[in-house]
């Protein structure tokens, strides 16, 4: 059974929409939530007039903008919702290279929202870079907390021979990943529910993750990383991934860190976990200052900045002598 045959009726409607948008040359690059809101607050951003307005900018639109039959199908599938006499899409479609990904509409307020944004683009670039510079064979890979499935699909397209798992605790993420994998025509992606790696078996040649890393007062799963400053889930991923790596396999983790008094608390926690000569690792900041508006929220009073970082850990395999230098910072 191929991926399209495994989709439910509502997911098939989304797949058909994605194919239609692709055929029409639709493209949309998703900005940060603050930028998205600022653009929509402009006078021209109050109502949708194009498909990019509807499915990119998440603007309300008058019935009749879409063909009547398509509008009916999308309403029946729960893709469109009534909005003060108008309609609004519950999902967005974003471009990454030559692909389209469906994810949650703006604003992402629901607890089961599926996020896609600037972090996603950087995460994909990090995976691309790793695959270009690593010559280790990849027979089995997993994208932890897959969200819209970007990590899994990037790997699956680059390594067609690999078995790639996309796992998440969020059923909405698993449904949208299934649609995105079918749209990308990657037959080597399997979508499964799992809390980190607890519910999947075996070892992996590549483990990737782009977990939530904020301390979210509402504790929304797509955004809240746990702990005082949002690093708890990232640490948990490292702990579970280390001993699920096959010899020569790598963990590629993209996450954020709340920097306090010139210190990197995440790196301090990592260092003790990575002392084993079994592992070589590198760590660097990709962007020193993101989501600055979060410094105004409760719990961030001591935080100087939020940086995004890349951790790459490789398990030293049989026949590989010595240890790999650990690099902290740029």
Are residues 64 and 199 both part of a single domain?
no
In whole angstroms, what is the distance from residue 122 CA to residue 172 CA?
23
Q: Which of 59, 78, 104 is the last residue before a domain boundary?
A: 104
Are residues 133 and 260 both part of a single domain?
yes
Tokens 């970082």 correspond to what residue?
309
Q: Which of 55, 72, 104 is the last residue before a domain boundary?
A: 104
Collapsing DSSP to helix, strand or coil, 324 comes out as coil
| 256 assigned to some structural domain | yes
Q: Which of 54, 75, 104 is the last residue before a domain boundary?
A: 104
| 51 assigned to some structural domain | yes
Are residues 99 and 125 both part of a single domain?
no
- b/e 153-168 (16+ beta carbons within 10 angstroms → b): bbbbbbbeebbbbbbb
| 111 assigned to some structural domain | no
Are residues 29 and 64 both part of a single domain?
yes
| 113 assigned to some structural domain | no
Are residues 124 and 219 both part of a single domain?
yes
Q: Check residue 60 and report its DSSP letter.
A: -
Q: Distance of CA 151 to CAs 154, 156, 253, Å?
A: 5, 9, 11
Instruction: Please list the residues that pair with 86 across neighbouring strands.
Output: 83
Are residues 95 and 198 both part of a single domain?
no
| 112 assigned to some structural domain | no
| 327 assigned to some structural domain | no
| 325 assigned to some structural domain | no
Are residues 249 and 135 both part of a single domain?
yes
Per-residue pLDDT of the chain (330 residues; tens, 9 = 90+): 677 888 999 999 999 999 999 999 999 999 999 999 999 999 988 999 999 999 999 999 999 999 999 999 999 999 999 988 999 999 999 999 999 999 999 999 888 999 999 999 999 999 999 999 988 899 999 999 999 999 999 999 999 999 999 999 999 999 999 999 999 999 999 999 999 999 999 999 999 999 998 777 766 666 666 777 878 999 999 999 999 999 999 999 999 999 999 999 999 999 888 988 899 999 999 999 999 998 998 888 899 999 999 999 999 865 333 333 334 333
Are residues 18 and 128 both part of a single domain?
no
Stated pTM of the model: 0.92
| 324 assigned to some structural domain | no
Are residues 141 and 287 both part of a single domain?
yes
Are residues 158 and 273 both part of a single domain?
yes
Number of domains in the chain: 2
Are residues 123 and 224 both part of a single domain?
yes
Q: Which domain holds residue 19?
A: 3-104
Are residues 148 and 45 both part of a single domain?
no
Q: The domain spanning residue 228 has which CATH number?
A: 3.40.50.150
What does the pLDDT read at residue 330? Answer: 35
């Amino acid at each position: 059974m191929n991926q399209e045959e495994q989709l439910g009726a509502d997911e098939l409607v989304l797949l058909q929409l994605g194919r239609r948008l692709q055929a029409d040359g639709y493209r949309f690059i998703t900005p940060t939530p603050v930028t998205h809101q600022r653009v929509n607050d402009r006078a021209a951003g109050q109502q949708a007039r194009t498909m990019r307005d509807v499915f990119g900018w998440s603007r309300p639109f008058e019935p009749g903008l879409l063909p009547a039959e398509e509008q009916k199908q999308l309403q029946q599938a729960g893709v469109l919702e009534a909005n003060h006499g108008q309609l609004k899409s519950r999902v967005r479609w974003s471009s990454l290279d030559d692909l389209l990904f469906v994810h949650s509409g703006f604003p992402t307020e629901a607890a089961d929202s599926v996020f896609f944004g600037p972090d996603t683009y950087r995460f994909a670039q990090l995976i691309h870079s790793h695959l270009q510079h690593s010559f280790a064979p990849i027979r089995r890979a997993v994208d932890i907390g897959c969200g819209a499935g970007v990590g899994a699909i990037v790997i699956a397209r680059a390594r067609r021979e690999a078995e790639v798992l996309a796992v998440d605790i969020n059923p909405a993420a698993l449904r949208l990943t299934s649609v995105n994998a079918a749209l990308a025509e990657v037959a080597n992606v399997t979508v499964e529910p799992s809390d980190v790696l607890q519910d999947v078996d075996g070892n992996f040649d590549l483990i990737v993750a782009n977990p939530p890393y904020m301390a979210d007062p509402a504790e929304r799963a797509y955004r809240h990383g746990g702990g005082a400053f949002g690093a708890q889930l990232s640490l948990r991923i490292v702990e579970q991934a280390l001993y699920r790596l096959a010899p020569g396999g790598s963990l590629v983790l993209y996450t954020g860190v709340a920097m306090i008094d010139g210190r990197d608390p995440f790196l301090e926690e990592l260092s003790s976990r990575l002392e084993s000569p079994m592992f070589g690792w590198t760590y660097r900041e990709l962007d020193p200052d993101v989501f600055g508006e979060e410094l105004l929220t409760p719990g961030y009073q001591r935080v100087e900045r939020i940086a995004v970082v890349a951790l790459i850990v490789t398990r030293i395999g049989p026949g590989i002598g010595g240890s790999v230098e650990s690099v902290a910072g740029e």
